[in-house]
Amino acid sequence: MRAIVQDGYGSIDHLSLGEVPPPVPAEDEVLVRVRAASVHPDVWHVMAGRPVVLRLMGSGVRGPRERVPGTDVAGVVESVGSAVTRFTPGDEVFGETIRGIQWSNGGAFAEYATAPEDGLAPKPPRVSFEEAAAVPTAGLIALKNLPPHRVPSGARVLVNGAAGGVGSIAVQLAKAYGAQVTGVDHASKLALVQSLGADQVIDYTVEDFTRTGEQWDLIFDVPGNHSFGAIRRALRPQGKYVLIGHDAFGATGHHWLGSIPRMLGLMARSAVSPQLRGGSFASPEKRQLLAMLAELMESGQLRTVVDSTYPLEQVREAMRHLMSGQALGRVIVRID
Ligand SMILES: NC(=O)c1ccc[n+]([C@@H]2O[C@H](COP(=O)([O-])OP(=O)(O)OC[C@H]3O[C@@H](n4cnc5c(N)ncnc54)[C@H](OP(=O)(O)O)[C@@H]3O)[C@@H](O)[C@H]2O)c1
């Protein structure tokens, strides 16, 4: 089958179109005829091999263990493993091909990919393959960190990085829960943030939200470009802070460990700072989270924004566009 093959870590020069044998589903896996796959920052991490620690976390030390990149797919079920009960050939599905951490290649940039049964959900009929492929990784991280119980109706929620893949979903989740939402991003992207339902927008190039004198009940922070001391100025005393973290395609310079030291520091600090505690609710399984995302898409409460679609052979151009930071919504690879 045709697939994008990654022959080492580094730049887009390590990605090329090739021929590889189609994957064979394990007993709990589904073989999907891929129609669309998304190009997102975690695909960049594994392409670049940055932060370096990801190579020790299962991605592969000298080069990627799984050579075909991509994790988020939408397509049609081709065949199922013997233990699969929820899908049959011909079903339209979307989801994540990987198990465990996001920092590994998942084989999505190919004509066929396998995914664990629990990593897939039925694609809502009214949603296109491209729109569905834009959601899984970003939607799962947004929903895990912004579950309904964390956002009481009427709460003031600020989403920093609101136009990005994760932030744009967080804005819509918070609106769906009945929150008042402030979206922070670059001026060129604020119209998009407003169109997703944000009540108020802030251009980070002209205003620092931690110095406006305003306070929020929850700050959902994708870029993580403020110290926690600064964030506290903008949080109500009982407010909560959620850090996602973004390496800005290497620009933050955290080449070895990425955002991990910052996350660990915040976890340690959560012992004395309730604003960093998530609460005692267990996160639902991936399968349930995907079903919730599908329901939100079907009801129109979650709209996915596709910036551009590239054919499989133009994955390098798609990656270049993602890394430019100019995309207004998700970058998608289409496989015909
Ligand atoms: N931990 C996990 O399990 C997990 C799962 C999924 C994703 N992630 C991570 O989540 C991160 C975000 O992914 P994404 O898809 O949302 O990225 P994205 O699409 O690149 O979005 C990031 C957004 O933040 C904006 N931004 C940059 N600097 C800013 C600043 N100083 N203030 C406010 N906004 C700023 C960017 O705008 P500009 O154009 O101005 O840069 C962009 O719109 C990635 O690093 C990804 O690896 C983690």
pLDDT tens, the chain, 336 aa long: 999 999 999 999 999 999 999 999 999 999 999 999 999 999 999 999 999 889 988 889 999 999 999 999 999 999 999 999 999 999 999 999 999 878 899 999 999 999 999 999 999 999 999 999 999 999 999 999 999 999 988 999 999 999 999 999 999 999 999 999 999 999 999 999 999 999 999 999 999 999 999 999 999 999 999 999 999 999 999 999 999 988 888 787 788 788 888 888 888 888 778 888 876 566 789 999 999 999 999 999 999 999 999 999 999 999 999 999 999 999 999 998
Distance from Cα 85 to the centre of ligand 1, integer Å: 36
DSSP 8: S
In the chain, where the domains are located: 2-135+303-334, 148-276
**Ligand 1 probe mutation, 140, 185, 308, most atoms within 8 A of CB:** 185
Q: Which has the closest alpha carbon to 40: 126, 136, 170?
A: 136
The confidence score (pLDDT) of residue 102 equals: 81
The confidence score (pLDDT) of residue 198 equals: 98
pTM for the model stands at: 0.94
166 lines ligand 1 (CB under 6 A): yes
Distance from Cα 302 to the centre of ligand 1, integer Å: 18
Alpha carbon distances (Å) from 137 to 103, 246, 290, 302: 11, 14, 10, 15
The confidence score (pLDDT) of residue 234 equals: 98
CA distance 29 to 116: 4
The confidence score (pLDDT) of residue 281 equals: 61
Angle ∠(17,74,159) on CA atoms, nearest 5: 105
The confidence score (pLDDT) of residue 130 equals: 98
* Ligand 1, atom 9: closest residue by C-alpha: 246
Q: What class does CATH assign to 148-276?
A: alpha beta
Contacts of 248 (CB under 8 A, 6+ apart): 223, 325
The confidence score (pLDDT) of residue 151 equals: 93
CA distance 300 to 304: 10
The confidence score (pLDDT) of residue 108 equals: 98
Domains 2-135+303-334 and 148-276 share a fold: no
CA distance 166 to 164: 6
**Ligand 1 probe mutation, 96, 225, 246, 247, most atoms within 8 A of CB:** 246
2-135+303-334 to CATH, choices 3.40.630.30, 3.90.180.10, 3.40.50.150, 3.40.50.80? 3.90.180.10
The confidence score (pLDDT) of residue 280 equals: 55
CA distance 80 to 88: 7
The confidence score (pLDDT) of residue 255 equals: 84
Atom number in ligand 1 closest to CA 101: 3
Reduced to 3 DSSP states, what percent helix, strand and coil does the chain have, rounded to the nearest 5? 30, 25, 40
